[in-house]
Amino acid sequence: MRSRKNDSVQGHEVYRHVEDVLRQHLKLKDHGPKCRLSVLVAILCYAAARIGSIFDACRRLRDAPCDQAVRDALFAMLPQPAELTRRLNSGLAADLPDAVLGRRVNVAVDLTLIPYHGQPLHDEKEVYRGQPKHGTSHFHAYATCYMAWKGRRFTLAMVPVWKGDSMKDVLQRLLQRARAVGVKIKLVLLDRGFYSVEVIRYLQAARTPFLMPLVRRGRKPKNGDPLSGSRQFHAWKQSGWSQYTLTDKKKRTATVRVAVACRNYRGKWNRHGRQTFVYAYWGCHPGSMQWVYQTYRRRFGIESSYRQLNQARIRTCTRNPALRLLLVGMALILRNAWVWFHLLVFAERHRNGQIILCLEKLRFRTLLLWTQRYAEALLGCSETISLELQT
């Protein structure tokens, strides 16, 4: 879907677009007379809109096959996670407008952790370990590369993160896939989880500019001793520039530039005094401290993409990592379609070339609701729920 001549969007267009992506890029096809691809897409869209499961969708759609038949069809068609990741990234790139390709843009990289309370299917590496969250320290983790340029808020690439993967390897895979799409990376905005000597040395060797928070490390002052490590920058009361050298356990070093931005709380959160933000950067030439602060703020758009991801992520208790990867990728494909429709249909264009998005014209939940209604029209909606009584 590259161009449009009308200024309206209907639910079946979104549904057909998702079906085309799954057919062309994920190479899914019909699996028997009952589990045709159109039926599978309708069930998946219905489950995504309701933030439910495949079992719930098959139970509520009158003419849908049973949930086990749907899962068997998906298991039969899904390739290995590595190949599935490549196909999902191809599907994410399908919605990128031509104006983005070849441009130098800022990208943000981060991880999203989905809590998991079960056991791995084949290998312990399938389950990622992290800080406790939602009652568990086991997760299925996914890393994404997000672009925000003149309203074009697309997810460029995604990769699963396995237990034992270093942040350097994860970042390298993401940037390689983003460049393969045709986007030129101007600046990488990173979360504090990527703050390490290994990551910084890789980005410097790859000549890739970056901006990230400088994590507070070093000994606390005792008996009048001065601050050590990066703690000294967090104690500054005035904005300024400096330089800092990190050292890891293997005695490797990496040198970065430091920007310390100090701001007043001004009564925010019922607090008063000075607020200090410390950033580490390399390869870019910030013109002012305000540029550093405002540029890094754009990274938080990736957090909004994760919120929308969870609004369209089908719930499941399966142990199969490939199926879980497909459900996460489909949610991101739906979100990219939402961004595409806003950019090509609902955006207001001025004579000077400026594009103003009107997000109030079509909310993401509304788009999902359209797909749900189309699935109900295609497969019918069951008005009764049968109960199986055991005697």
Q: Which residue stretches of 271-380 are H helix? A: 289-297, 301-311, 321-341, 364-379
Burial 26-46 (b: 16+ CB within 10 A, else e): bebeebeeebebebbbbbbbb
Distance between CA atoms of residues 64 and 139, nearest Å: 31
Phi/psi for 225 (5° steps) reads -70, 150
Helix axes 81-93, 321-341, angle to 10 degrees: 0
Which residue carries 């990128």 as its tokens?
96
CA triplet 40, 46, 47: central angle to 5 degrees? 90
Cβ-based neighbours of 173, under 8 Å, separated by 6 or more: 143, 159
Distance between CA atoms of residues 282 and 201, nearest Å: 11
Distance between CA atoms of residues 345 and 2, nearest Å: 11
The predicted pLDDT at position 185 comes to 93
Helix (H, G, I), strand (E, B) or coil at 110: strand
The predicted pLDDT at position 389 comes to 43
The predicted pLDDT at position 267 comes to 65
CB atoms within 10 A of CB 244: 16
> Burial of 355 by CB count in 10 Å (0-12 exposed, 13-18 middle, 19+ buried)?
middle
CB-based contact 3:22 (threshold 8 Å): no
From residue 211, alpha-carbon distances to 6, 11, 208, 339 in Å are 41, 40, 10, 26
The dihedral built from the CA positions of residue 113, 119, 125 and 129, taken in this order, carries a sign that is positive
The predicted pLDDT at position 1 comes to 45
The predicted pLDDT at position 26 comes to 87
Q: How is the chain split into domains, by residue range?
A: 11-77+347-379, 84-218+227-304
pLDDT above 70 covers a percentage of the chain that reads 93
pTM for this structure? 0.89
The predicted pLDDT at position 14 comes to 79
The predicted pLDDT at position 72 comes to 93
Residue 294's Cβ-side half-sphere holds a number of Cα atoms within 13 Å equal to: 6
The predicted pLDDT at position 3 comes to 47
pLDDT above 90 covers a percentage of the chain that reads 54
CB-based contact 14:368 (threshold 8 Å): no
Burial 10-25 (b: 16+ CB within 10 A, else e): ebebbbebbbebbeeb
Taking only the tens of pLDDT, the chain with its 391 residues reads: 444 445 667 777 878 888 888 888 988 888 888 889 889 999 999 999 999 999 999 999 999 999 999 999 999 999 999 999 999 999 999 888 888 888 899 999 999 999 999 899 888 999 999 888 888 999 999 999 999 887 778 999 999 999 999 999 999 999 999 999 889 999 999 999 999 999 999 999 999 999 999 998 887 777 767 777 888 888 888 899 999 999 988 899 999 999 999 887 766 666 667 788 999 999 998 989 999 999 999 899 899 999 999 999 999 999 999 999 999 999 999 999 998 888 877 777 776 667 777 778 888 999 899 889 989 998 888 766 555 544 4
Helix (H, G, I), strand (E, B) or coil at 352: coil
